[in-house]
Structure 1
């Protein structure tokens, strides 16, 4: 979980070894006019994001980390973007509410350019805010998800490979939990309590993985942090995680997050979830297994922690919460 060293215009920032451009460099690369001030950092995560104001307007700047990508496609970041950007363009043409990309002067791929061996892209700035609990976006979200799911059917039976990452044999979980107990990890006992549930759900998901009939390409991350509320309504942002998925399984996961009316709107807009039956919300359990799998391996030093995962204490708390949710999961919201 140790970060390295970053450089800004050749000087160290003491964080990560990745190039951070100046406002002038970004403005020139995307023909944005003269900057009015520097890059204003918004967040650091799987990608770094900034706000940039120039004489031609305000812009949202995204700088990709080289290690981003590869989870949902073969290859790495470039291969992921090669899948994601054409689908984003298709969604834009279909009228999906999303941010307007700004083309670079010298494209590396689609809307992305390379500056000092790092990939960047820019959008027009959107004046908006994050979704609040009192915002009713269920109708919009269900309709938008249905439109997205109809853009590019895959035509294959079965769930994609990324569903299977956390579907491990019992022997693996036995090994990891035994090591956790030996090391005195504070989460080891609840891990053993949840093991029968993990084994049961793994078997159900493996069976579903062979028969799911509705694979489509999709945005893949319909979550509140990727939805902006604007004066003209919600906008779906961050299309970098485009992947294939079962349409019904994703609809079930999102309905579990936002409520049953989302599912009603989805079906009303042409979405079909009938085949899934009692397994409609099984994707929620799979996501919990994924969170458990990743955090167990991080805490046992079997894999490096992603930048967004937080401190060791935060990871332990995240793992405990996932164990609790898995124990309470009953297959419906």
Structure 2
């Protein structure tokens, strides 16, 4: 591991290591290292692409990250670039993997629901990103959140029941829920405003509270989304520690919406349609978890169980949003 990190330090032009590195994600196939060098403290991220689609996503993510850095969004700085080929912000490692470095900063992650002052910062930050985000001229399919037909879902749910992943009652509930979700998502997409490259992963682990204020981390999941839908989805996710079981904190939502509006964000209608982006993303992810739970993406029995639990939780959250969307949308005014 020491030799690997030394190689990455040299590859990324960080100078000489000033001490041993720490693997921040032990056991992960894409380790992340904290290392000090003569040029400062760094976080070195590594990644092995999961498929050809990653290359376009990495370039899009870089377009937003670079624009955000130039606009002064509160976020970690990046290592100065060194000569050579790059895919977005990532440098090839010579073995099919990629690496990148960011300045390491000290801080802690917030708890959920976010305190109003942190929520206000999130809203203002999303507005700032929206202002510099590159537009995406393509169709909704560019988001990577596909929708699936009722017959497709029926086949997968039937298999899940056969394998014991879902009970008969859970399958019946899921069929009705997915029909409702597909209708809501298709209606929202038909009327949606334009797409932009946005962060898409403003979660507690990607917000760092520092002595100089909050910082936004990890732009690697950035991609196409509707700005208002992105904002609303994050506001509600960050206002409840378990959306679907625990009611979102109204103070957190109000502060986030105020920060977004005051920051120049283009708020859309305060209607249930504002949840379309969250519904589409979560429904697509629920399908992915269902395939994994049924063993279609490899993994061991423990992984299948975790995916089954995550899939049931996703459906519960989606059901809660559908039930509450009319009432929650009035909080967006």
With structure 2 as the length reference, what TM-score do the two structures score? 0.82
Equivalence map 1:175-324=2 (5 Å): 175-187=155-167, 189-258=169-238, 259-260=252-253, 261-275=255-269, 277-304=271-298, 311-324=303-316
Deviation at 1:202, TM superposition (A): 0.5
The reply on whether 1:42 has 2:24 as its aligned counterpart is yes
Q: Please give the per-residue CA displacement for 1:30-64, whole angstroms capped at 9, x wherever unaligned.
A: 33232233321112658421101223321100001
Give yes or no for contact 1:98–1:237 (8 Å, CA) kept in 2. Answer: yes
Give yes or no for contact 1:23–1:37 (8 Å, CA) kept in 2. Answer: no
Q: State how far apart, in whole Å, the 2-side matches of 1:155 and 1:276 are.
A: 24
For this pair of structures, how many residues does the alignment match?
306
Q: Quick check: which one's helix share is greater?
A: 2
Q: Please give the per-residue CA displacement for 1:199-258, whole angstroms capped at 9, x wherever unaligned.
A: 111112112112211322212211111111111011111111221211111111012123
Deviation at 1:269, TM superposition (A): 1.6
With structure 1 as the length reference, what TM-score do the two structures score? 0.82
Distance 1:107 1:223, change over 3 A: farther
Distance 1:79 1:288, change over 3 A: closer
Q: Which residue does 2:92 correspond to in 1?
A: 114
Stretches of structure 2 that go unaligned for 5 or more consecutive residues are: 239-251, 329-333
Match of 2:191, SS?
Answer: coil
Q: State how far apart, in whole Å, the 1-side matches of 2:69 and 2:63 are.
A: 10
Distance 1:216 1:185, change over 3 A: closer
Q: Which has the higher contact order (CA 8 A, sep 6+)?
A: 2
Q: Please give the per-residue CA displacement for 1:156-208, whole angstroms capped at 9, x wherever unaligned.
A: 5864543642x211111111122222233345531321211111111121121
Distance 1:161 1:27, change over 3 A: closer
Distance 1:47 1:266, change over 3 A: farther
Q: State how far apart, in whole Å, the 1-side matches of 2:119 and 2:297 are.
A: 37
Match of 2:208, SS?
Answer: strand
Give yes or no for contact 1:49–1:60 (8 Å, CA) kept in 2. Answer: yes
- Residue 162 (structure 1) aligned to one of 125, 143, 153: 143
Deviation at 1:302, TM superposition (A): 2.7
- Residue 88 (structure 1) aligned to one of 42, 51, 65: 65
Distance 1:25 1:46, change over 3 A: closer
What's the RMSD between the two structures over aligned residues? 2.6
The reply on whether 1:101 has 2:83 as its aligned counterpart is no
Q: State how far apart, in whole Å, the 2-side matches of 1:86 and 1:182 are.
A: 45
Q: Which residue does 1:4 correspond to in 2?
A: none
Distance 1:286 1:111, change over 3 A: closer
Match of 1:22, SS?
Answer: helix
Stretches of structure 1 that go unaligned for 5 or more consecutive residues are: 1-7, 10-20
Match of 1:274, SS?
Answer: coil
